Amino acid sequence: MNATFDFTHHRILVTGASSGIGREIALQLIASGAQVFALGRDALALSQLGCETLCLDIANSAALDLALQDLPPMHGLVNCAGISRLEPAAAISSEAFDQVMNVNARAAAQVASRVAAAMIKAKISGSIVNVSSQASLVALEDHLGYCASKAALDAITRVQCAEWGRFGIRVNSVNPTVTLTPMAQMAWSDPARRDPALAAIPLGRFAQTVEVALPVLFLLSDAASMISGVSLPIDGGYTSR
């Protein structure tokens, strides 16, 4: 799969860059000439990317603010850090719900807030992409907290678009279907769960990480210069039903 983008002289922060979709996005951006700042929890995995790294737990609000203060103004941001805690709706725990919301919604909003403030001060017309999920658009059993957090992220995206557009900052989200990352392979390994999900996708398969990364690069690029406030399903048609 080939797509050509040129992010030379662009500084782009990618959260959740240790693995999965975030790692693929970071690698694609590096290959496209960007100066990538990769944020994640796995120091070894980050070091193998060959770019600037920030190793921390994004749920730690104070540590996150300290790390972001030391960064130069960005031209782009990809909020990809995310977790899932599977619980049935009749047995949710406050601990799991709060953890998922803190990482998937609050931390993403905090990162974008600080990055956008620096963009505005430096008069940079940047682009922000929040990695949401098809779970914000449909009901998935045992995913109440995850669905709620991704729906919140889509709402966050729209508010950011409305507030920051006047400064030339575009904000969009992408909403992938099940993507073959380690987290997804664990969550969807049971045939009883996997097979009905595949049957509901018109294309009949789950996504590869590169199939999410390249649309993200498009939204970061000048090719999407008039696109803002969009939540883009990357789901093989799943949410069309």
Q: Dig out the tokens for 128 from the structure.
A: 């922000």
Q: Residue 160: what residue type?
A: Q
Strands 35-40 and 11-15, by their bridges, are parallel
Cα(first)–Cα(last) distance of the chain, in Å?
A: 27
Answer for the pair 56, 111: CB distance below 8 angstroms, yes or no. no
The C-alpha atoms of residue 93 and residue 95 are separated, in whole angstroms, by: 5
Q: Residue 53: what residue type?
A: T
Tokens 């980050």 sit on residue: 46
Active-site residues, by number, are 146, 150
Tokens 């590869």 sit on residue: 208
Order the strands of the 52-55 sheet from edge to edge. 52-55, 35-40, 11-15, 76-79, 127-131, 170-176, 231-234
The C-alpha atoms of residue 100 and residue 157 are separated, in whole angstroms, by: 18
DSSP class of residue 225?
T
Q: Dig out the tokens for 96 from the structure.
A: 């799991």
The C-alpha atoms of residue 19 and residue 17 are separated, in whole angstroms, by: 6
